[in-house]
């Protein structure tokens, strides 16, 4: 009997550029063949052309590099006139931004300018367009943002795909993960818009879970792979804990746990047993 062909998985580490410890963890995993994609934030103060070169050198031939569009606190926009903003001039926290997106229409021109500016900052840093575009805290799926993004990407980064976050796992099995259910709903509209504009999306997505300190990531990960088709994206957030990460993100322990699992001995065995490859 002929063995079933392996499916290719896109294992994407979000948040490159957030903090030196996150960057170091992602670079280590890419270098060891444990990741094949990473999404870059161009707004954090620790991101620089030098960090972009470090990533480009390690990722060449090993990993795709995407733009992680950032429109939430504590970061500030690159452009003048973007709204809505907090009183200190930073983006809104994700919860407030989510609520605003369903109540008050965004300034389409302002959102378009900010998306364009972040894409241009990526291209200055890397000398080329991103391989794909997604969103920090999934902001690219929000109404008002998704329309602008899907207008800008084909013009500014032709050939780039965009990440949708619809899952294949049955809804009843995900009732304890309400975030994934919301992402499903928003991704349906996102996929339709992308198809109308001829923009490629990934066939399926996984990797969400309830971010609680007691979560056992090693136990969760195999379930992410169940029933995924070829070319699916699994999101992850590995990191080494440092002062900058503690300043920006309270979920430091979970990042460390993801890094330990993806760098450990069990991960490649789980991947192979599920019939996936990263190459």
Does pLDDT of 172 surpass 60?
no
Q: How confident is the model at residue 159 (pLDDT cuts 50, 70, 90)?
A: very high
SS3 readout for 252-270: HHHHHHHHHHHCCCHHHHH
pTM value is 0.94
Predicted local confidence at residue 251, as pLDDT: 80
Segments in 157-242 forming alpha helices (H): 178-196, 217-224
pLDDT at 213: 78
Over range 153-174, report the average pLDDT.
85
Task: Give dist(CA 89, CA 62) in Å, integer.
Answer: 38
Is residue 131 part of the annotated active site? The answer reads no
Mean pLDDT of 80-87: 92
- What token pair was written down for 36? 């094949």
Percentage of residues in the chain with pLDDT exceeding 90?
Answer: 81
Answer yes or no: are the C-beta atoms of 262 and 235 closer than 8 Å.
no
Find the catalytic residue in 14, 23, 184, 249. Answer: 14
88-97, 101-110, 220-229: least confident range: 101-110
In this model, does residue 2 exceed pLDDT 60? no
CA distances from 226 to 127, 263, 274 (A): 37, 21, 8
Q: What are phi and psi of 147, to 5 degrees?
A: -65, -45
Single out the residue of 166, 154, 152 nearest to residue 206, CA to CA. Answer: 166
């Amino acid at each position: 009997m002929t063995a079933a062909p392996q499916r290719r998985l896109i294992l994407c580490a979000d948040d490159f550029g957030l903090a030196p410890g996150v960057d170091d963890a992602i670079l280590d995993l890419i270098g060891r063949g444990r990741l094949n994609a990473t999404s870059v934030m161009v707004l954090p103060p620790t991101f620089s052309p030098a960090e972009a070169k470090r990533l480009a050198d390690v990722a060449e031939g090993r990993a795709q590099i995407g733009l992680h569009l950032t429109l939430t606190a504590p970061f500030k926009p690159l452009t003048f006139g973007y709204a809505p903003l907090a009183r200190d001039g930073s983006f809104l926290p994700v919860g407030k931004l989510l609520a605003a997106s369903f109540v008050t229409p965004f300034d389409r021109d302002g959102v378009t300018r900010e998306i364009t500016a972040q894409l241009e900052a990526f291209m200055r840093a890397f000398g080329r367009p991103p391989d794909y575009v997604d969103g920090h805290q999934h902001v690219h799926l929000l109404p008002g943002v998704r329309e602008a993004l899907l207008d800008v990407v084909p013009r500014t980064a032709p050939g780039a795909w965009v990440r949708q976050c619809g899952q294949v796992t049955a809804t009843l099995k995900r009732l304890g993960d309400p975030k994934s259910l919301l992402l499903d709903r928003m991704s349906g509209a996102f996929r339709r818009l992308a198809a109308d504009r001829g923009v490629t999306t990934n066939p399926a997505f996984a990797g969400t879970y309830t971010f609680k300190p007691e979560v056992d990531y090693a136990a969760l990960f195999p379930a992410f792979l169940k029933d995924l088709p070829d070319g699916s994206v699994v999101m992850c957030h590995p990191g080494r804990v440092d002062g900058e990460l503690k300043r920006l993100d309270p979920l430091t322990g979970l990042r460390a746990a993801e890094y330990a699992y993806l760098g450990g001995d069990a991960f490649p065995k789980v991947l192979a047993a599920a019939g996936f490859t990263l190459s």
